[in-house]
Amino acid sequence: MSAGQFAVFGHPISHSLSPQIHQMFARQFGIELEYRTIDAAPADVEASVRAFFANGGRGANVTLPHKATAFAMADERTEAATRAGTANVLTPLAGGRLAAHNTDGSGLVRDVTERHSVDLRGHTALLLGAGGAARGVAWNLLDAGVHTLTIVNRTPETADVLADDIGEPARAHTRYWEDLADLGAFDLIVNATSAGVLGKSLDLPFAIVGNRALCYDLSYGVAATGFLAWARTAGARYAFDGLGMLIETAADSFEVWHGKRPDTDPVYVELRKQFG
């Protein structure tokens, strides 16, 4: 059974695991599909995406740095995409129109609560970063029951905008990055910064890591190693990278496109072998 053409857009994008993940999903159902990476510079991505769909593309994943552009291009948007103001999935509608989805937050929560069996209810959470990655997960963390969400960003104005958009000052608020050492300990620390991807150190204080803390980096592989090493040294109970989140978000898009929910566990086990 053939299911058409699919792609992931990014810049750079050659490192993406999405083609491998979607092929592994497709084999579970006997589906044959073409899934490729498309490297598009920011100035060219809209034209590239529209050309892809005009030539019969059935669905696209979108990653850095194009998630805001994908959201802006869309004619219809899911609630999750609207809240975040970004999109990681695009699907075609009639007449050349596009629908935008954001599955980042649901993928993160499912990885933490189902794969790693950690209940987030009642947790005090620290969100490092306030850009597109942070916006993609902030609301879902609150929906999952975290008690408070403290947002800290190098540019405090960006954090303030995110907190204002959430609109729950009793639960979601901002603090200054310079004051991290004085904020107390947290049960959940999510690294949504681009530091690891850029090869930079966050230089975080150990004092923010609570006794039962779960530290989670939205990146995976080499990009997450620095943060995870810091978390383990600080005594975190759990330290996870974002590989499981990536697979879960891919499963969400696969289900949107094919109407079938793949089993993510064997894919996670196989890819975990590659990334340790």
Given this model, what pLDDT does residue 201 score? 81
Given this model, what pLDDT does residue 3 score? 65
The string over 262-275, giving b where at least 16 C-beta atoms fall within 10 Å of a residue's C-beta and e elsewhere, is: bebeebbeebeeee
Architecture of domain 2-102+246-275: 3-Layer(aba) Sandwich (3.40)
- Locate 103 and state its tokens: 């599955």
Q: Which fold has domain 105-241?
A: Rossmann fold (3.40.50)
Q: How far apart are CA 46 and CA 3, in angstroms?
A: 24
End-to-end CA distance of the chain: 34
Give domain limits for the chain. Answer: 2-102+246-275, 105-241
Given this model, what pLDDT does residue 1 score? 44
Q: How far apart are CA 233 and CA 252, in angstroms?
A: 34
SS3 state at 171: coil
Write down the catalytic residue from 67, 200, 260, 273. Answer: 67
Q: What is the pLDDT along the chain (276 residues), one digit of tens a residue?
A: 456 899 999 998 988 999 999 999 999 999 999 999 999 999 999 999 999 999 999 999 999 899 999 999 999 999 999 999 999 999 999 999 999 999 999 999 999 999 999 999 999 999 999 998 999 999 999 999 999 999 999 999 999 999 999 999 999 999 999 999 999 999 999 999 988 777 788 889 999 999 999 999 999 988 999 999 999 999 999 999 999 999 999 999 999 999 999 999 999 999 999 876
Query: Cis omega before residue 156 (within 30°)?
Result: no
% of the chain with per-residue pLDDT over 70: 99
> Which tens digits make up the pLDDT trace of 127-161?
999 998 999 999 999 999 999 999 999 999 999 99
Given this model, what pLDDT does residue 142 score? 98
The reply to whether 67 belongs to the active site is yes
pTM (2 d.p.): 0.94
Given this model, what pLDDT does residue 196 score? 78
Q: Residue 258 gets which letter from DSSP?
A: H
Per CATH, 2-102+246-275 and 105-241 having the same topology is answered yes
Given this model, what pLDDT does residue 104 score? 96
